[in-house]
């Protein structure tokens, strides 16, 4: 289940914060608030919200300065910012965009327009985060010595690293992972994975062979776990060639 998007509301006026909080909670967002610019920067760094609703006219540090500082921080650089202000002139809007705001909405705002813009921004931001997370994951596993493959709960391959392809002597990952394994092994792994109740739990190790005529005699050790992948349940299989190990054990 995908968690609700988090919205940070930064506004020095209590009434404005209350209006926005009530509206956003009605839309099932998780809402956090800050009373001024400095508090907003601290909350952004600590909470990493999906979107920041930032008032422009605030004492001490206005919304323009907050936006500039957000864009100057590598950790907060890509955090979406929607400026909210009673200023509607062209110069004010351009200044906000120049400081790095993603959008600008004028008070008194139209609630339908605000909801629509937030849905669009949060959806795009979540997609960006998922893409970055997937890229980091793939980079981390690309050079792993053991074969690693991710599948959906039907066994369709979502990702496989280079070691997996070398192990199965494939130029590219297969479409279905279980087609590479004996039927008995398929049943064991499926049954064990369906019994997992916690994504931190693992199953295995399970010893098996490769269902490829030219790789007959290759012995594999497979461990598996359930995890969330792009908002859905997926299975991760770690595969190690233990043929040489088993041969040495037999000799001893």
What are 78-88's pLDDT values in tens digits? 888 999 888 77
Distance CA 14, CA 25 (A): 16
Q: From residue 153, give the alpha-carbon distance in Å to each of 11, 88, 94, 250.
A: 45, 51, 49, 36
Q: CB-based contacts of 51: which residues, under 8 Å, 6+ apart? A: 5, 6, 7, 8, 79, 80, 81, 82, 118, 121, 122, 125
User: At 85, is the secondary structure helix, strand, or coil?
Assistant: strand
pLDDT greater at residue 144 or residue 182? 182
Q: What is the pLDDT of residue 55?
A: 93
Q: What is the pLDDT of residue 18?
A: 92
Q: What is the pLDDT of residue 246?
A: 77
Q: Of all residues in the chain, what percent carry a pLDDT higher than 70?
A: 90
- 42 forms beta bridges with none
pLDDT greater at residue 56 or residue 137? 56
Which of 17-31, 56-70, 192-206 has the weakest average pLDDT?
A: 192-206
Please determine, for residue 20, whether its predicted confidence score (pLDDT) is greater than 70: yes
Q: What is the pLDDT of residue 205?
A: 83
Read off the pLDDT of residues 171-192 as tens digits, 9 standing for 90 and up: 788 889 888 888 888 888 888 8
pLDDT greater at residue 236 or residue 200? 236
Q: What is the pLDDT of residue 27?
A: 84
Distance CA 107, CA 197 (A): 48
Q: From residue 38, give the alpha-carbon distance in Å to each of 42, 59, 65, 68.
A: 6, 11, 10, 12
Task: Assign 124 a pLDDT band (cuts: 50, 70, 90).
Answer: confident
Alpha carbons within 13 angstroms on the beta-carbon side of residue 140 total: 6
Distance of CA 193 to the CA centre of its chain: 22
Mean pLDDT of 144-167: 86
Please determine, for residue 91, whether its predicted confidence score (pLDDT) is greater than 90: no
Task: Assign 146 a pLDDT band (cuts: 50, 70, 90).
Answer: confident
**Cβ atoms of residues 202 and 238 within 8 Å:** no
89 burial type by CB count under 10 A (0-12 exposed, 13-18 middle, 19+ buried): exposed
Q: What is the pLDDT of residue 92?
A: 84
Q: What is the pLDDT of residue 199?
A: 59
pLDDT greater at residue 68 or residue 231? 68
Please determine, for residue 9, whether its predicted confidence score (pLDDT) is greater than 90: yes
């Amino acid at each position: 289940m995908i968690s609700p998007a988090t919205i940070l509301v930064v506004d020095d006026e209590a009434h404005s914060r209350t209006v926005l909080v009530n509206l956003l909670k009605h839309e099932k967002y998780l809402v956090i608030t800050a009373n001024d610019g400095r508090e907003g920067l601290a909350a952004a760094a600590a909470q990493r919200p999906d979107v920041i609703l930032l008032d422009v006219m605030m004492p001490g540090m206005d919304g323009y300065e907050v936006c500039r500082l957000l864009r100057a921080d590598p950790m907060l650089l890509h955090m979406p910012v929607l400026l909210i202000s009673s200023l509607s002139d062209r110069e004010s809007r351009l200044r906000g965009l120049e400081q790095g705001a993603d959008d600008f909405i004028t008070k008194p705002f139209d609630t339908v327009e605000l909801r629509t813009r937030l849905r669009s921004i949060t959806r795009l931001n979540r997609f960006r985060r998922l893409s970055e997370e997937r890229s980091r994951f793939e980079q981390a596993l690309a050079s792993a010595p053991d074969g690693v493959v991710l599948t959906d709960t039907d066994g369709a391959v979502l990702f496989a690293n280079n070691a997996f392809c070398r192990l199965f002597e494939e130029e590219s990952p297969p479409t279905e992972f279980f087609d590479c394994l004996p039927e008995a092994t398929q049943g064991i792994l499926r049954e064990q994975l369906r019994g997992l109740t916690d994504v931190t739990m693992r199953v295995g190790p399970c010893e098996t062979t490769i269902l490829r005529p030219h790789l007959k005699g290759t012995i594999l050790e497979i461990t598996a776990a359930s995890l969330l992948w792009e908002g859905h349940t997926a299975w991760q299989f770690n595969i190690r060639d233990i043929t040489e190990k088993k041969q040495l054990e037999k000799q001893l």
